[in-house]
Amino acid sequence: MKKALTFIIPVRHPENAKDWNRLKQNLSATVRSIANQTDPDWKAVIAANQGADLPKLPSGFDVAWVDFPANPLYEQGSANKEDFYEAVRADKGRRILAAMLHAGEMSHVMLVDDDDFVSSRLTAFVKEHPEKYGWYIRDGYLWTEGANLLFIHGDFSHLCGSSHIIRADLYKLPSRFEDADENFIRKMLGSHMFIHEHLNASGTPLEPLPFLGAIYRVGHPGAHSKSQGIFQQFIFRQSNLRNLNELKHHLHSLRLITPAIRKEFFGVSS
């Protein structure tokens, strides 16, 4: 049955995880966040390798089991930076495509990284606008695990992969996995950096989501982006320390995690 919103969560090959137990814990938190939607008109599909030890999944979740090999360039090492990026995009894109094809009929789609959080209001909002091309999250939260503060980032969609909600037909998915073009897999599915511009050029532009729609978990050991905590990366970085106005602006972007925010994004009331 077609749901108003389908969440797609790609999970890396176990051999590409430094700490599978940590990944599993983070995934559990992401699953709880998604399952916290105020409107039940959603579904979610996780793409994971056959045999991977996944956390217990609530109603509304399904798994697209895949047999893709581990990505040999999951860490850059001595590889060329572009080769590294392309390998990561190809691996992630293949998993997302497998999950999307497994999902069947979809109205709108949101790709969610396996360690992020989403607003409980997303499905209800999307359901009210079924004809819209979709939205990008312009303003979103950043959070360092264990902290009681969030940082509002005004260019969230260029920073975090969990940042676009797109009408499914705009992806122009192939009917079979083997018919997908590799460039399509890398650019349209494996990265969040190209889709916005592509849809603008196609005459189907996305709109900014009118509320803060997601939390990007940063600075944890399993973060593939090598992100730092919000204070190291955004508050007390050297450029801010040399510009007090910029430092003041960033300090004003901090928000305390209130019970309401905790319930909306983390799916817990305290």
Q: What percent of the chain has pLDDT above 70? A: 87
CA distances to 71, 177, 246 from 87, rounded to whole Å, are: 7, 18, 36
pLDDT at 70 over 70: yes
At residue 121, φ and ψ (nearest 5 deg) are -90, -5
Instruction: Report whether 8 contacts 111 (CB < 8 A).
Output: yes
The whole-number pLDDT of residue 124 equals 98
Sheet with 254-256, strands from edge to edge, namely 117-118, 214-218, 140-144, 149-153, 254-256
Instruction: Report whether 168 contacts 96 (CB < 8 A).
Output: no
3 state DSSP class of 141:
strand
Instruction: Report whether 63 contacts 54 (CB < 8 A).
Output: yes
Q: Which fold has domain 5-139+152-217?
A: Spore Coat Polysaccharide Biosynthesis Protein SpsA; Chain A (3.90.550)
- Mean pLDDT over all residues of the chain? 90
Instruction: Read off the tokens for 57.
Output: 């999944």
Stretch among 3-12, 172-181, 189-198, 226-235 having the lowest mean pLDDT = 226-235
Q: What's the average model confidence in pLDDT over 17-33? A: 97
Instruction: Report whether 90 contacts 52 (CB < 8 A).
Output: no
pLDDT at 270 over 90: no
pTM of the model: 0.91
Q: What's the average model confidence in pLDDT over 234-263? A: 71
What are the residue ranges spanned by the domains of the chain?
Answer: 5-139+152-217
The whole-number pLDDT of residue 10 equals 98
Tens digit of each residue's pLDDT (9 = 90 or more) over 200-245: 999 999 999 999 999 999 974 555 444 556 766 666 554 554 555 6
The whole-number pLDDT of residue 165 equals 98
151 beta partners:
142, 254
